[in-house]
Copies of this chain bind each other. A is one copy, B any other.
Amino acid sequence: MSIARLAVTTERLDLDALIGAVSSAVEADAEGTGAITSFLGLVREHNLGRRVIKLEYEAYEPLAVRTFERIADEITERWPAAQVAVHHRVGVLAIGEASVAIAAASPHRADAFAACRYAIERIKQIVPIWKREFFDGGDVWIEGATADPDDAAAREDAYRRACV
Protein backbone atom coordinates (compact mmCIF):
# COMPACT_ATOMS: atom_id res chain seq x y z
CA MET A 1 0.00 0.00 0.00
CA SER A 2 1.34 3.38 -0.91
CA ILE A 3 0.41 6.50 1.06
CA ALA A 4 0.72 10.18 0.26
CA ARG A 5 4.03 11.36 1.67
CA LEU A 6 2.66 14.84 2.38
CA ALA A 7 -0.89 15.21 3.60
CA VAL A 8 -3.43 16.95 5.79
CA THR A 9 -5.86 14.51 7.29
CA THR A 10 -8.69 14.15 9.77
CA GLU A 11 -7.54 10.59 10.54
CA ARG A 12 -5.35 9.48 13.43
CA LEU A 13 -1.73 9.78 12.35
CA ASP A 14 0.13 6.58 11.48
CA LEU A 15 3.86 7.06 12.02
CA ASP A 16 4.71 3.54 10.85
CA ALA A 17 3.18 4.28 7.46
CA LEU A 18 5.30 7.42 7.14
CA ILE A 19 8.44 5.54 8.15
CA GLY A 20 7.68 2.88 5.55
CA ALA A 21 7.18 5.53 2.89
CA VAL A 22 10.46 7.36 3.46
CA SER A 23 12.41 4.18 3.91
CA SER A 24 11.43 2.76 0.55
CA ALA A 25 12.07 6.13 -1.09
CA VAL A 26 15.69 6.18 0.07
CA GLU A 27 16.19 2.50 -0.66
CA ALA A 28 15.50 3.22 -4.28
CA ASP A 29 18.80 5.12 -4.37
CA ALA A 30 22.25 3.63 -4.34
CA GLU A 31 23.30 3.80 -0.69
CA GLY A 32 20.14 2.64 1.01
CA THR A 33 18.54 3.89 4.20
CA GLY A 34 20.80 3.80 7.24
CA ALA A 35 18.87 6.11 9.55
CA ILE A 36 15.26 7.07 10.07
CA THR A 37 14.26 9.81 12.46
CA SER A 38 10.76 10.80 13.38
CA PHE A 39 8.90 13.52 15.18
CA LEU A 40 5.46 13.44 16.76
CA GLY A 41 3.87 16.60 18.11
CA LEU A 42 1.28 15.83 20.76
CA VAL A 43 -1.45 17.86 22.40
CA ARG A 44 -0.26 18.81 25.89
CA GLU A 45 -2.50 19.35 28.84
CA HIS A 46 -0.89 22.56 30.00
CA ASN A 47 -0.04 25.73 28.11
CA LEU A 48 0.97 29.08 29.58
CA GLY A 49 -0.53 28.07 32.92
CA ARG A 50 -3.87 27.12 31.38
CA ARG A 51 -5.35 23.64 31.64
CA VAL A 52 -6.06 22.62 28.06
CA ILE A 53 -9.23 20.60 27.35
CA LYS A 54 -8.79 20.01 23.62
CA LEU A 55 -7.36 21.64 20.51
CA GLU A 56 -8.99 22.21 17.17
CA TYR A 57 -6.78 22.40 14.09
CA GLU A 58 -7.86 24.00 10.84
CA ALA A 59 -5.92 24.05 7.56
CA TYR A 60 -6.10 25.69 4.19
CA GLU A 61 -5.51 22.25 2.82
CA PRO A 62 -4.39 22.75 -0.80
CA LEU A 63 -1.90 25.45 0.20
CA ALA A 64 -0.78 23.40 3.20
CA VAL A 65 0.09 20.45 0.97
CA ARG A 66 1.89 22.72 -1.51
CA THR A 67 3.81 24.21 1.38
CA PHE A 68 4.81 20.74 2.60
CA GLU A 69 6.10 20.17 -0.94
CA ARG A 70 8.08 23.39 -0.76
CA ILE A 71 9.61 22.30 2.54
CA ALA A 72 10.44 18.87 1.10
CA ASP A 73 12.16 20.63 -1.81
CA GLU A 74 14.15 22.81 0.59
CA ILE A 75 15.24 19.66 2.40
CA THR A 76 16.32 18.01 -0.85
CA GLU A 77 18.34 21.10 -1.63
CA ARG A 78 20.14 21.07 1.75
CA TRP A 79 20.32 17.30 2.30
CA PRO A 80 20.15 15.67 -1.14
CA ALA A 81 20.11 12.12 0.20
CA ALA A 82 17.27 12.69 2.68
CA GLN A 83 13.59 11.92 2.18
CA VAL A 84 10.76 13.21 4.36
CA ALA A 85 7.10 12.50 4.91
CA VAL A 86 4.72 14.76 6.83
CA HIS A 87 1.13 14.25 7.88
CA HIS A 88 -0.69 16.96 9.80
CA ARG A 89 -4.00 16.29 11.43
CA VAL A 90 -6.98 18.67 11.48
CA GLY A 91 -10.17 18.68 13.49
CA VAL A 92 -10.64 18.31 17.23
CA LEU A 93 -7.79 16.59 19.08
CA ALA A 94 -7.76 15.33 22.64
CA ILE A 95 -4.86 15.60 25.08
CA GLY A 96 -2.11 13.16 24.10
CA GLU A 97 -3.15 12.85 20.48
CA ALA A 98 -0.63 13.57 17.71
CA SER A 99 -1.20 16.68 15.63
CA VAL A 100 1.80 16.24 13.35
CA ALA A 101 3.96 13.28 12.36
CA ILE A 102 7.21 13.55 10.44
CA ALA A 103 9.56 10.81 9.25
CA ALA A 104 12.95 11.47 7.67
CA ALA A 105 15.20 8.86 6.13
CA SER A 106 18.76 9.14 4.91
CA PRO A 107 21.77 6.94 4.41
CA HIS A 108 23.34 8.64 7.45
CA ARG A 109 22.04 9.77 10.79
CA ALA A 110 23.22 13.37 10.88
CA ASP A 111 21.18 14.18 7.78
CA ALA A 112 18.12 12.29 9.01
CA PHE A 113 18.10 14.25 12.29
CA ALA A 114 18.66 17.57 10.54
CA ALA A 115 15.98 16.98 7.90
CA CYS A 116 13.39 16.00 10.53
CA ARG A 117 14.13 18.99 12.74
CA TYR A 118 14.18 21.36 9.78
CA ALA A 119 10.77 20.05 8.68
CA ILE A 120 9.03 20.79 11.99
CA GLU A 121 10.65 24.22 12.28
CA ARG A 122 9.51 25.18 8.78
CA ILE A 123 6.04 23.73 9.32
CA LYS A 124 5.58 26.01 12.29
CA GLN A 125 6.77 28.98 10.26
CA ILE A 126 4.95 28.73 6.96
CA VAL A 127 2.29 26.01 6.71
CA PRO A 128 -1.26 27.47 6.75
CA ILE A 129 -2.59 25.54 9.71
CA TRP A 130 -4.12 27.14 12.77
CA LYS A 131 -5.06 25.86 16.17
CA ARG A 132 -7.70 26.91 18.64
CA GLU A 133 -7.09 26.05 22.25
CA PHE A 134 -10.08 25.20 24.43
CA PHE A 135 -9.08 25.63 28.05
CA ASP A 136 -10.78 25.84 31.43
CA GLY A 137 -12.66 29.09 31.06
CA GLY A 138 -12.63 29.82 27.36
CA ASP A 139 -10.93 29.36 24.03
CA VAL A 140 -8.31 31.20 22.01
CA TRP A 141 -6.79 31.00 18.55
CA ILE A 142 -3.06 30.46 18.92
CA GLU A 143 -1.26 32.72 16.47
CA GLY A 144 2.40 32.11 15.83
CA ALA A 145 4.37 33.27 12.81
CA THR A 146 3.33 35.41 9.87
CA ALA A 147 3.65 32.89 7.07
CA ASP A 148 6.16 34.07 4.48
CA PRO A 149 7.89 31.27 2.60
CA ASP A 150 10.31 33.75 1.04
CA ASP A 151 11.56 35.10 4.38
CA ALA A 152 15.22 34.13 4.17
CA ALA A 153 15.86 34.91 7.84
CA ALA A 154 13.14 32.49 8.98
CA ARG A 155 14.50 29.79 6.70
CA GLU A 156 17.99 30.38 8.04
CA ASP A 157 16.69 30.16 11.60
CA ALA A 158 15.12 26.77 10.86
CA TYR A 159 18.38 25.63 9.30
CA ARG A 160 20.34 26.78 12.33
CA ARG A 161 18.06 24.85 14.67
CA ALA A 162 18.31 21.76 12.48
CA CYS A 163 22.07 21.82 12.12
CA VAL A 164 24.31 20.65 14.84
Interface residues of A (CB under 8 A from B): 15-16, 19, 23, 27, 30-42, 44-46, 95-96, 107, 109-110, 112-113, 116-117, 120, 160-164
A117 and B95 CA atoms in complex are apart in Å by 26
Partner of A113, one of B23, B42, B117: B117
A35 and B101 CA atoms in complex are apart in Å by 10
Indicate if the CB atoms of B32 and A44 lie closer than 8 Å.
yes
Which 5 pairs show the lowest CB-CB distances between chains A and B? A36-B40, A32-B44, A38-B38, A34-B44, A32-B45
Which residue of A37, A161, A163 has the most chain B CB atoms within 10 A of its CB atom?
Answer: A37
Count the copies.
Answer: 2
Further contacts, 10 of them, CB under 8 A, given A35-B42, A163-B164: A15-B38, A32-B42, A32-B96, A33-B44, A36-B39, A37-B40, A38-B39, A39-B112, A109-B120, A117-B164
Indicate if the CB atoms of B38 and A37 lie closer than 8 Å.
yes
Indicate if the CB atoms of B113 and A32 lie closer than 8 Å.
no
A7 and B113 CA atoms in complex are apart in Å by 23
Indicate if the CB atoms of A32 and B95 lie closer than 8 Å.
yes
Partner of A31, one of B40, B41, B44, B107: B44
A109 neighbours in B (Cβ, 8 Å): 39, 41, 120
Indicate if the CB atoms of B40 and A19 lie closer than 8 Å.
yes
